[in-house]
Amino acid sequence: MGFAEFTIENPIKSDRFSPRRWVLSHVGHHKLLIVILFIGAFGNAALAAVIPVYVGRAFDAAAPAVKDMGLIGIYALIIILSQATRSVLQFGRNFSANVLGERVERDAREELYTSLLGKSMAFHARQPVGDTMARATNDVRELNLMMSPGVNLVVGSINFMLMPLVVAPTYHPQLILAPAFYILLYFLAVFRFLKTLAPIADNVRQSFGDLNSRLAEAIDGIETVKGSAQEDQEVGRFIKKATVYQDAVVEQGRVEARYLPLLLLGLTYAIAFAHAMILYQNPEIEFSVGQVIGYVSLMTLFGFPTFISVFAYAAIARGMAGARRILTTINTTTELDQNETGYEQPITGDIVFDGVYAGYTADTNVLHDVSFTITAGQTVAIVGQTGAGKSTLAKLLNRTWDVHTGSITIDGRDVREWNLAALRQQISIIEQDIFLFSRSIADNIAFGNPAATRQQVIEAAAAAQAHDFILGFVDGYDTVIGERGVTLSGGQRQRIALARAFLTQPRILILDDSTSAVDSATEDKIQQAITQAAERQTTILITHRLSQIRWADQVILLRKGRVVATGNHDTLMENYPAYRRIFEQYDS
């Protein structure tokens, strides 16, 4: 059985056994709304049946043999009062259905979002962002539309169908035949319709997800697209995805166009009228003109389920297709266990890699038989050419990825024995590609320590050499930066990320080429701050900069995923030509 990397408690419980049970469990949280919906639907249908019944009676009261205008007036008053009551019930039904739809959408989106935050990096690396966004927005929205108008109209239409079935025999028992004929064939047609539409609706949702993924990828890489003048090619790729989505929607339209109940309604009207006239003309049966009119008019109640059914059931099919995609995402388990009852003491910083094999897929290794030891408080430089596995090695420490074989221990405990949250809260990794949120600078710095005071934020920024440029903004620390920090330079983003790390005071600090975008003078000041911090932490540097490597206590040389040498900088420069070539290549 798989695990959730982090299980985030969601107060809204659901049954995840199947899409149908999952949807019903969300709906079941709102029982009062369901009761109002059904009462409103039944009352609306029952009072709709009042019109044909009392119109028929009014015709009989207006017959030459009776001509009772007072009775006609009473019937008219009954119709007026019934329809006024009906409007109130219909309002309650529609209001409850709309609220139910909004709440189901809200709850499902919250459940999906908390689930996504609990997934491992392996899951997110495989799952296209655009498709995830489509599930979290459009597919969840389809759940709302499935409730209202979908389920709302279906419940209403079923009650409308029941009325002729119940009321028609009160005119004559034989008259149940036409409504029974309609209802039987109607549900057979609906069953066939939904069975045919379900895979097509799934295809529509999937093609929309693919379309969204293409859009998200192009926007995320817009700088590369424009820098390479590849706009036309990207438009062509997008058009292909849009055409696939269009074809799927058109196919859905073809299925909906072949829906049969409209023809069925015409046949039912003909059967009902013919049967009523046969009874009327039979001298042995007492059957009046008003009863003919009332009965045939009663059949018009089938018009509502007929005309709305294709729309309502299509909405349900789309909603269930969305539910299947959402539940697939929620139920996807990850390879990492959060180990809630695991070890969670303060980290000292002793690190041991023992025969580690690891990679980003189960059948591929980036690291091969990696073994080394780092003593608590040491500063260690990891050096190697591009693709040697340096960043992979760093991400194994906080279990962004797990080893395939071998072990990694921190303070003598395998990282898999640690409580995952306790482990990650004490390890900070700063990469070259910094991610900043579209929030204030202060909020970005305090992201890992939301309880930090403004003074602590300022001190961390000063240590990272970010304080001066932050004050240069009009709003200072309250300046809201753009998504991913696009309003800042590369060096500014890196210094804010360093400030974020300094504020959390990690026991293990990993710098993955994190000062590559700053000038030498600023880098020297940052190194001084790192040196001061290194007295209370283990520091791992992934870098090619000679200025950083020289002050490392130990240098580990990686080549094609293997450790080929360890020692200090001077020893490696003297004894390992491959190490010397790295600095000749990067001219550091």
- The pLDDT, as a whole number, for residue 174 is 94
List phi, psi (to 5°) of 146. Answer: -65, -40
CATH architecture of 351-586: 3-Layer(aba) Sandwich (3.40)
**CATH of region 19-331, choose from 1.20.1560.10, 1.10.150.530, 3.40.50.1000, 3.20.20.70:** 1.20.1560.10
For the sheet with 538-542, list strands across it: 427-431, 508-512, 538-542, 379-384, 554-559, 562-567
pLDDT tens sequence across 214-256: 888 887 777 777 777 888 888 888 899 899 999 998 998 888 7
- Which residues of the chain form CATH 3.40.50.300? 351-586
- The pLDDT, as a whole number, for residue 154 is 94
Kind and range of the H or E run holding 84: helix 69-118
Residues with Cβ < 8 Å from 552, sequence gap 6 or more?
379, 380, 381, 541, 568, 569
For residue 352, the cross-strand partners are 373, 409
- The pLDDT, as a whole number, for residue 588 is 45
Name residues of the chain where pLDDT drops below 50: 1-2, 588
Question: Pairing relation of β-strands 427-431 and 508-512?
Answer: parallel
d(CA 498, CA 445): 8
Q: Are 179 and 164 in contact (CB under 8 A)?
A: yes
The model's pTM: 0.79
Q: Which two tokens stand for residue 208?
A: 């929309």
- The pLDDT, as a whole number, for residue 485 is 66
Please state the three-class secondary structure of 301-318 as a single string. HHHHHHHHHHHHHHHHHH
- Which residues of the chain form CATH 1.20.1560.10? 19-331
Task: Say what angle helices 231-257 and 177-220 make with each other, to 10 degrees.
Answer: 180
**Measured CA distances, 19 to 26, 117, 322, 426 (Å):** 11, 21, 9, 39
